[in-house]
Chain A
Amino acid sequence: MGALDFIVALIRAAVFNGTPLMYGTSGEILTEKAGNLNLGVEGLMFMGGAFGLLGAFTYGNAMGDSANGVVAVIIALVCAFAAGCFGSLIYAFLTITLRANQNVTGLALTIMGTGVGQFVGEMMRLKVGGNVAISNALKLAFANSPFPQALQNIPVVGPLIFGYNVFVYLGIIMIIVMHHFLAKTRKGLYLRAVGESPSTADSAGINVTRYRYFATVIGGGISAIGGMVYTMTISGTVWNHTGLSGEGWVAVALVIFCLWKPINSLWGSVLFGALLILYIRLPIAFIPTQIYKVVPYIVTALVLIMVSIRQRREDQPPAALGTAFFREDR
């Protein structure tokens, strides 16, 4: 295998493995931008993974051979998104309306969400009596590139640009939209204001509660799609909780690495995707694989330290991150 082929393969693997993170992270960025630190991402991704699979599986079973791949993908997306929205709605209700502690609530959501994901996954297995599998035709809809074969066959460029599954492209579009929303629109500016200083936003007539709910629920839905992408692509439409476990926490780490800017998660998730699989692709003799896997966390911790030492105002976490807002509390 030539060096070029190797690099192409490495980049492709990095993108492939980074895609779930793309969703997990950008969803959490949206949430955190409004001032909510949702540590329930791990649970949300579990729920997204399980319900996404359940949706596609149920659809495939019901329709048999006439099942349509595109419809299956949409159903999986909708199911995962809805599951994530539901989970983060609970979190939002507790932290925003009932003003419960965000850290603790997020952790409780992780406990519940991983439980729900596991439970649904296992129930499916029990019902089927073995591995949950969907038909090959549907599988391909999740795995294949949406672009024509001709484009994919262009040397180097083809596999690098056109050769990914549909979620890569959807993710890129979603992140660009989110970047545009936060940076260029009125509502985006207001949302950031809510995360920086809710009392300022409130006195400017912005409905803090509504923005926080919006960001948390939509963000949670997006994060959950990440779990579905993992289940339907990386683990090959089979419920695999050990693989998914930890994915949500990497996403939380990546939010810091991206300095709370969605556009950074485009390359950040690819980089972390690379770090996650580098031990397979590029083994270094004296570094054990388990230590290799820890690199993303070490890098994130270093970024966190650097950011706090440099104190550049634009790189700081949203100033009100983790705090509840009560108008008369001033």
Chain B
Amino acid sequence: MDKVHAVELKGVTKSFGSNMANKNIDLFVDKGEIMALLGENGSGKTTLMNILAGIYLPDEGRVFVDGKEVTIRSPKDAFDNRIGMIHQHFKLVDVFTAAENVVLGLEGTGRLDLKAASSKVREISRKYGFDIDPDKKVYEMSVSEKQTVEIIKVLYRGADILILDEPTAVLTPQEIEKLFAVMRAMRRDGKSIIIITHKLNEVMAVSDVVAVLRKGEHIGTVRTSETSPQALTEMMVGRKVELNIGRKDPVDPKPRLTIAGLTVRDSEGVKKLDDVGFIAFGGEILGIAGIAGSGQKELLEAVAGLRKIESGSIIYTPEGKAPAELVGKTPMEIKDAGVALAFVPEDRLGMGLVGGMGMTGNMLLRSWHKGKGIFVDRKAPEKLAADVMERLEVVTPGIYYPVRKLSGGNVQKVLVGREIASSPSVLMSAYAVRGLDINTSYTIYNLMCQQKEKGVAVIFVGEDLDVLLELCDRILVLCGGKVSGVVDARNVTKEQLGLLMTSVGGKEEN
């Protein structure tokens, strides 16, 4: 008989429609162990953990906790088996205090003793080194505080198995260090922790073992001390990462967008962009790097006219025309002037596409206001849709089939294809390869390169540093809404980029 594991999955399979998210997965974690669950976007990490957390039911397979078979039908069942998950999108009630959120859903009837809850929250905080006010309302909290509340919530319930879904994506480096310290403290306390991530440095820093998923399959589990980032990457993507993007040198770059002193606040008055300035040239790809939420989205939206600009200027110089100020223009005017934005949000459909419409309806988003009269012209977008479908090999039953029902890669092809088809002179894309497989990603990279060779100023916001280094000509790094550096992509290392991403104060190139 094998050693009894804290939690074990045997033959777990889960599919959504025709999409197999998890295929016959066997996996286990031991007591007092931190396991990193590593895999690219869309490899099935979150789905698998949601099965443990009681969010999804597996189609097939068995789950064991402490050697006993269990069925986890709901989050409550998960708690009963001492499993707690901290989701990427926090599950907190905004108008409640930390303590109220912590006691949510606990057994027991009658009077609610918030004082006792508060003091127990303080006790847990002391034990693991959190810093939290139990009586603070969640809507007044920072992201890291909210995450702390989530972790306390799970600990309060006496969870022995903690699952953290990409907990570092929203944190600053200091906060990440603190989180890791907390995780180590929990490990000392005999807890088992599963951390979902796709960042190798974090895997190496904090985990004891690494389980790698690829396209829904469990590729293998290795001890962190016996592996290397290179070996892990190979497991993760299936082959050595040599991107070999056919990057050519820029030909005759001319300033296309000249941005100076750009400052933007969000609806709550928080500065999202602080005195941002740079030049984007026609015929080059300018990459934008930064940890999530550093102002990438706000920058693109400001240029596209979708955000109120507090101060600063955006001078746009189209080929062979006089420079024009974009600040103060409507999104429509900016779009018509040749500035295109292809933004792929986290849910893919939130911005830029209408899920309930077919490709034609979505092509129409760019041209609906064109032409005289009150009627929409559907002929041109129909042709365009057929065109995009053929050129980018979009897999769809037809151009009227709702794009919501297409797979992620095809949705993104529709979006990027449409923006390119408008022959822009500035093409901004954000997270264009989010969740795509390698082959589809290459299709997108090639499209970007083609645009650059046509003299378009391409601005590429990406998450993957390897891609940025091989695709872009220059890389602008944002940190906390400020420009922390603009570097030559051919002569910079990943480490240098990483440093710039986490600290303002790098030198500007120009």
Q: How far is the CA of A314 from the CA of B140 in the complex (A)?
A: 12
Knowing A189-B104, A196-B95, say if A202 contacts B111 (CB, 8 Å): no
Counting residue pairs across A and B whose Cβ atoms lie within 8 Å, the total is: 77
CB distance B104 to A202 under 8 Å? no
How many chain-B residues does the 8 Å CB contact rule pick out?
Answer: 29
CB distance B56 to A328 under 8 Å? yes
CB distance A201 to B105 under 8 Å? yes
CB distance A189 to B95 under 8 Å? no
CB distance B105 to A196 under 8 Å? no
Is A197 engaged at the interface, CB distance under 8 Å to the other chain? yes
CB distance B96 to A193 under 8 Å? yes
Knowing A203-B91, A204-B75, A205-B105, say if A189 contacts B112 (CB, 8 Å): yes
Q: How far is the CA of A205 from the CA of B93 in the complex (A)?
A: 14
Knowing A185-B110, A202-B75, say if A190 contacts B105 (CB, 8 Å): yes
CB distance B79 to A196 under 8 Å? no
In the complex, chain B residues whose CB is within 8 Å of the CB of A192: 93, 96
Is B74 engaged at the interface, CB distance under 8 Å to the other chain? yes
Is A313 engaged at the interface, CB distance under 8 Å to the other chain? yes
In the complex, chain A residues whose CB is within 8 Å of the CB of B76: 205, 207
CB distance A187 to B104 under 8 Å? no
In the complex, chain B residues whose CB is within 8 Å of the CB of A185: 109-112
In the complex, chain A residues whose CB is within 8 Å of the CB of B103: 186, 189
In the complex, chain A residues whose CB is within 8 Å of the CB of B104: 189-190, 193, 200-201, 204, 206
B258 to chain A, nearest CB (A): 37
DSSP majority for the A interface?
A: helix
Is A199 engaged at the interface, CB distance under 8 Å to the other chain? yes
Q: How far is the CA of A185 from the CA of B112 in the complex (A)?
A: 4
In the complex, chain B residues whose CB is within 8 Å of the CB of A328: 55-56
Report the interface size class on chain A. 20 to 34
Is B94 engaged at the interface, CB distance under 8 Å to the other chain? yes
Task: Please report which residues of chain B, range 441-483, place their CB below 8 angstroms from some CB of chain A when the two chains form the complex.
Answer: none
B71 to chain A, nearest CB (A): 15
Is B308 engaged at the interface, CB distance under 8 Å to the other chain? no
Q: How far is the CA of A193 from the CA of B109 in the complex (A)?
A: 16
What is the 8 Å Cβ interface bit string for chain B, positions 274-312, against chain A (1 contact, 0 not)? 000000000000000000000000000000000000000
Q: How far is the CA of A117 from the CA of B104 in the complex (A)?
A: 40
CB distance B95 to A184 under 8 Å? no
Other contacts beyond A196-B95, A201-B105, A319-B95: 16, CB < 8 A: A185-B109, A186-B112, A190-B104, A190-B105, A193-B104, A196-B96, A202-B75, A203-B55, A204-B75, A204-B105, A205-B79, A313-B94, A314-B95, A316-B95, A319-B94, A328-B55
Give 26 A-B contacts (CB < 8 Å), ordered by A residue: A184-B111, A186-B106, A186-B108, A186-B112, A189-B96, A190-B104, A193-B93, A193-B96, A193-B104, A196-B93, A197-B92, A197-B94, A200-B91, A201-B93, A202-B74, A202-B75, A203-B55, A203-B85, A204-B153, A205-B74, A205-B75, A205-B78, A313-B94, A313-B95, A313-B137, A314-B95
Which 9 A-B residue pairs are closest in the complex by CB-CB distance? A204-B105, A205-B76, A205-B105, A200-B91, A204-B104, A206-B105, A203-B91, A196-B93, A203-B75
